[in-house]
Amino acid sequence: MKHFRPSLPSPMLVLSAVGQLFPTRIHGEVLARVLNRLLAPELADGELDFLNGQIVLIEVIDARIRYRLTLRNGMLAALGDDGPPAALRIGGNVHDFLLLASRQEDADTLFFHRRLTLGGNTELGLYVKNFLDSLELEERLGPVLKLLHGATTWVGRFA
């Protein structure tokens, strides 16, 4: 006799469902606040000034979530879906963004293997990529980095 094992929904379906419950603007604001806190030294030093007046669209394809961010008054700010088009679009799946955030893969590798895609202003894309490559967050992230590694491994099972 075979035992029935209910299958759990993939994390991407769950993330997508949760993402659809709240307007993008709300979780975009949360993302902007987290990034502002995490990148406070770089923001204070003007290292993100190249984003001033530029709109970057981050598209998490498998979760069907889109974030539009810009730099306003020295801080990252989330924008709604309306308004001018983004100067730069960065697209990828949850797992690929987690690989990047947890430093398990570098941006060059993910772009080269077309797991992350760039569209729009190439120069702005290079600034973003170089900025990400220059970040040394290990000391700031500490235990959070371990959680990111675990989340990346777990999500990778479903990717």
Residue with tokens 């979530």: 65
pLDDT tens per residue across span 14-27:
666 666 777 777 88
Instruction: State the amino acid at position 82 in one-letter form.
Output: D
Q: Which pLDDT score is estimated for 16?
A: 65
| Ordered domains of the chain (ranges, CATH) | 11-156 (3.30.1050.10)
Q: Give buried/exposed letters for 32-45 (b at 16+ CB in 10 A, else e).
A: beebeebbeeebee
pLDDT tens per residue across span 139-156:
777 777 777 777 777 777
State the pTM of this model.
0.82
Q: State the chain's mean pLDDT as an integer.
A: 85
The share of the chain scoring above pLDDT 90, in percent, equals 45
